Structure 1
Amino acid sequence: MKLPRPLLSLLAITAATGVAWLARPLLRPLLQPLGRKSWRRSRGIIQHASDAIIVTDEQQSILQANPAAATMFGVSLDDMQGAPLNAFIPRDQRLGANPATSHYFGNTGIHLRMKGRRASDYAVTGVRSDGQHLPLEGSISSLYESGKPIYTIILRDITERKQVQEKLAQSYTQLRELSAALQTIREEERKHIARELHDDLGQLLATLRVDLALLQRQLREPGPRKLLNGMDELLMASITSLRRIASNLRPRALDEGGLYFALESLRQEFVSHYGIACRLHANEEELILDDAYSTAIYRIVQEALTNIMRHAQATRVELSLRRVDDLLDISIQDDGRSIAAQDMDKASSYGLIGMRERVWALQGDISILSDGGTRIMVRLPLPPRAPAP
């Protein structure tokens, strides 16, 4: 049997809103050719739906509800019949209870529908008969019957989803805290090893070289002197290598001169080793920070320069650090090859990952722009400055 287009439209509306049983008197003359079997099937779908379906009038009095709705709120179907919808909403969220918190079924729900505005999917908090609150996800639709509007609310309990989201958020926070703790431990270990290398092994090598120089003065035969000269060269190379390793583990400039001095030393070393022009724009007084912040900022800039050296093919780099009140803005810009968007989030991009972790550990933000070169922008919240004595 082919149904006329108006009937098909009406059937679609009633099916979508879940109010087919309410429109039964209106539809019965048109649906009689379809038989009672189809009608019972439609009603059965609604009655056995896992989502709560509630129908109210313009005054938000409940006209109909399915068993899932009664189960959701811990009441019987008879208790829901004729009850105000507000009975299943926390008091502080009921329409008119508090202008600042009047929403959900009120301002953003049926109230909007009454004004002819859209109110589709939204979040809502329901309350069970025992006073327990439960998070819900719902949608509202409207239909006119005998010239009067009726509203259909379909609700889904998302308690489990919320719990999973909260656990994920908690796990994410714990991972961030663990990452920050590991960064701190790693830096402390680097500092300790660097100090041991410089203070102990470095001093031993330096003393050995002094003794070697004394021997060179006492020996006049060319054979032993040549051997001692070779030993001296190897010893000097070992000392140089030791200083480089210790500096990479923990830049002594950070401990001896602070962040500005360390960044200036890093800039000079970068220019000297790689021949890439680099300028530092910063105010030394603005970079007087504690060890944790100084180390993190130094490592961020160091990693950025390493990436530029390895991948950018740049000829010029601009470093800028500017403090405004309790915020520090860092900009690292090069004129080289732009970083590809797909490379920014690669698991193998350890340098970028490390930079992000350090920034996030300090509750900061990092963004990377790639247009005519690459620009890394970091904003870090800083501890308030100590008041002047």
Structure 2
Amino acid sequence: MSLFWRIFGLNALVLGTATGLLLWAPVTVSVPVLLTEAFILVGGLGVMLVANGALLRWGLAPLDRLTRLMGTVDLLRPGQRLPVPGGAGRRGGGGGRGGGGEVSELIRTFNAMLDRLEHERATSSARALLAQEAERRRIAQELHDEVGQGMTAILLVLKRAADDAPEPLRGELHQVQEITRASLDEVRRLVRRLRPGVLEDLGLVSALTSLTQDFATHTGLRVVRRFDAELPALEPETELVLYRVAQESLTNTARHADATRVEVALRRAGEAVVLEITDDGRGIEAPCEGAGIRGMRERALLAGAALDISSTPATGTRIRLTTPVPALRKPS
């Protein structure tokens, strides 16, 4: 039954019931209307309105559920769908209009729109992230070639000048050397963050080891590593997603968690590889997810992975990224 005929039928049922009660009820209306008769008429009208409202609420309940889903849907959390009345499929196959009318058709259309939007969001996010990685490589290369080499040349000039300078000036030149050397180390650290060359050369485990060591050195936090000895081979894009999620998680821990200990685990769980970062900080609120966490969710979509963030105040935060292992190709 279509939505129009459903509402028409509900109203006809209420009006027909009221008409039947008026026909067979031993109630007369005087002119002018008596007070008792007015009470009966007003009470009957109230009963009609309540009955009509209850039946309409029941008839329009699927639209209410659809409205609530529209208000809460998040493309970074894929899979949110509304069940179609009448047992029809998610994409509208098999049920047709006869099973659920316009409401079912609207729900099927909305679910299909979510499918399309999630696909388009994943595609656009992939392009944006790939462009971002290309820009990071370019900036890292320029920092290494231009800034790094220029600061190295400055260090050499300062050394020659300090060797030939008198004693009062020599101490100041040595101080400038130390400042320049510290700046050069910072530039090299930025280059490693922008372009993890160890990830391309030595693999994910070595890259995460270097990342956590560098993080512990600069933050003073205790970092515990738990990496499985044998991990399956992953696509380069998937390894980069795991590395960037770990990097962003550690950065958020240093900035916001107020933690003293961080544990980074990488293990195989069935047909998936799980990256887990746990801290003992103050936790986060789910509604307070910022750009960093949403960026991690976008990266998870890029690798077809599932990102789960669990946290309660004063108990720390656990970030778990579960990425599927690619199936081995059979020889042709």
Q: Report TM bin, short chain.
A: 0.5 to 0.7
Alpha-carbon separation, structure 1, partners of 2:220 and 2:182: 23
Which has a greater percent of helix? 2
Is 1:379–2:322 an aligned residue pair? yes
Alpha-carbon separation, structure 2, partners of 1:345 and 1:361: 23
Is 1:315–2:279 an aligned residue pair? no
* 1:262 Cα offset (Å): 1.5
Which residue among 332, 347, 366 is the counterpart of 2:307?
A: 366
* 1:255 Cα offset (Å): 3.0
- Tell me if the contact between 1:314 and 1:336 (Cα under 8 Å) persists in the aligned partners: yes
Distance 1:136 1:240, change over 3 A: farther
Distance 1:386 1:269, change over 3 A: farther
Alpha-carbon separation, structure 1, partners of 2:239 and 2:286: 25
* Mean Cα deviation higher: 321-330 or 231-240: 231-240
Distance 1:162 1:227, change over 3 A: same
Q: Which residue number in structure 2 is paired with residue 199 of structure 1?
A: 145
Q: Which residue number in structure 1 is paired with residue 277 of structure 2?
A: 332
TM-score (norm: length of structure 1): 0.56
Alpha-carbon separation, structure 1, partners of 2:281 and 2:245: 19
Alpha-carbon separation, structure 1, partners of 2:150 and 2:134: 23
Query: What 5-or-longer segments of structure 2 have no aligned partner?
Result: 1-8, 27-47, 49-84
Q: Please provide the CA RMSD for this pair.
A: 4.0
Distance 1:321 1:18, change over 3 A: farther
* 1:203 Cα offset (Å): 2.5
* 1:212 Cα offset (Å): 3.7
Q: Which residue number in structure 2 is paired with residue 122 of structure 1?
A: 86
Kindly report which structure 2 residues correspond to 1:224-373, keeping only aligned pairs within 5 A, or say none: 225-226=170-171, 228-283=173-228, 285-286=230-231, 288-324=233-269, 326-339=271-284, 343-346=285-288, 349-370=290-311, 372-373=315-316
TM-score (norm: length of structure 2): 0.65
* 1:187 Cα offset (Å): 1.2
Alpha-carbon separation, structure 2, partners of 1:287 and 1:211: 49
* 1:16 Cα offset (Å): 5.5
Instruction: State the SS of the aligned residue for 1:207.
Output: helix
* 1:328 Cα offset (Å): 0.6
* 1:209 Cα offset (Å): 2.4
- Tell me if the contact between 2:88 and 2:95 (Cα under 8 Å) persists in the aligned partners: no
Alpha-carbon separation, structure 2, partners of 1:295 and 1:237: 28
Alpha-carbon separation, structure 1, partners of 2:174 and 2:324: 54
- Tell me if the contact between 2:232 and 2:325 (Cα under 8 Å) persists in the aligned partners: no
Alpha-carbon separation, structure 2, partners of 1:209 and 1:255: 30
Instruction: State the SS of the aligned residue for 2:242.
Output: helix
Query: What 5-or-longer segments of structure 1 have no aligned partner?
Result: 1-14, 36-41, 43-120, 126-131, 139-154
Distance 1:289 1:310, change over 3 A: same
If asked which structure has higher relative contact order (CA below 8 Å, sep 6+), I would say: 2
Instruction: State the SS of the aligned residue for 2:282.
Output: coil
Alpha-carbon separation, structure 1, partners of 2:132 and 2:20: 79
- Tell me if the contact between 1:134 and 1:157 (Cα under 8 Å) persists in the aligned partners: no
Alpha-carbon separation, structure 2, partners of 1:172 and 1:213: 58
Give the AA of the match of 1:344.
Answer: A
Deviations 1:340-377 (A, max 9, x none): xxx2233x512221222211221111222235332222
Which residue among 109, 121, 134 is the counterpart of 1:188?
A: 134
* 1:324 Cα offset (Å): 3.8
Distance 1:334 1:387, change over 3 A: farther
Q: Which residue number in structure 1 is paired with residue 24 of structure 2?
A: 33
Give the AA of the match of 2:287.
Answer: D
Larger Rg: 1
- Tell me if the contact between 1:209 and 1:235 (Cα under 8 Å) persists in the aligned partners: yes
Alpha-carbon separation, structure 2, partners of 1:275 and 1:156: 61
Alpha-carbon separation, structure 2, partners of 1:242 and 1:167: 46
Q: Which residue number in structure 2 is paired with residue 171 of structure 1?
A: 117
* 1:172 Cα offset (Å): 2.9
Distance 1:30 1:374, change over 3 A: closer
The number of equivalent residue pairs is 264
- Tell me if the contact between 1:260 and 1:287 (Cα under 8 Å) persists in the aligned partners: no
* 1:319 Cα offset (Å): 1.5
* 1:311 Cα offset (Å): 2.7
Distance 1:319 1:238, change over 3 A: closer
- Tell me if the contact between 1:321 and 1:331 (Cα under 8 Å) persists in the aligned partners: yes
Q: Which residue number in structure 2 is paired with residue 105 of structure 1?
A: none
Aligned residues: percent identity?
30
Is 1:135–2:97 an aligned residue pair? yes
Which has a greater percent of strand? 1
